[in-house]
Structure 1
Amino acid sequence: MPVVFRDRGRKFHFYSDEGTPREPVHIHVSEPGCEAKFWLNPAVRLARKIGYTE
């Protein structure tokens, strides 16, 4: 799980071999007790969230 960015305790990361068939381009954001996944194309949008209230 390569981490591409860290900010205020959040990790922005991806998995190099995720999904069968392969999922569209996306990024995971996580911090203790919370995780979210964002699709990146054609525009950034929330795919799912766990633990975040906003």
Structure 2
Amino acid sequence: MPTILRLDGYRFYFYSHEPNEPPHVHVDKGGASIKVWLDPISLARNTGFRRQEINGIMTMVEAHRARLLEAWHEYFG
């Protein structure tokens, strides 16, 4: 599980066994988890985050999208 970014207590990462899915990132904090597609940015799945937190996470993903996509493509080729 390569960690790409840590920001404000959130951990942004992807699983190394998901190369057949479109680029995405998982974000965890305090037992909650969310999966966000990167192209285009959209919510794939949420477990435990409130709507306000989801909006903040989506904003962070958008702000760091280039870095997240670069890490995805660098890892999976």
**TM (normalized to structure 2)?**
0.61
List gaps (5 residues or longer) in structure 1.
Answer: none
Q: Distance in 1 between matches of 2:43 and 2:25?
A: 10
List gaps (5 residues or longer) in structure 2.
Answer: 52-77
Q: Distance in 1 between matches of 2:50 and 2:18?
A: 26
**Equivalent pairs: percent with the same residue?**
43
- Greater helix content: 2
Equivalent in the alignment of 2:37: 39
4+ runs of 1 displaced by more than 2 Å? none
Q: Distance in 1 between matches of 2:16 and 2:41?
A: 19
- Greater strand content: 1
Q: CA RMSD in A?
A: 1.2
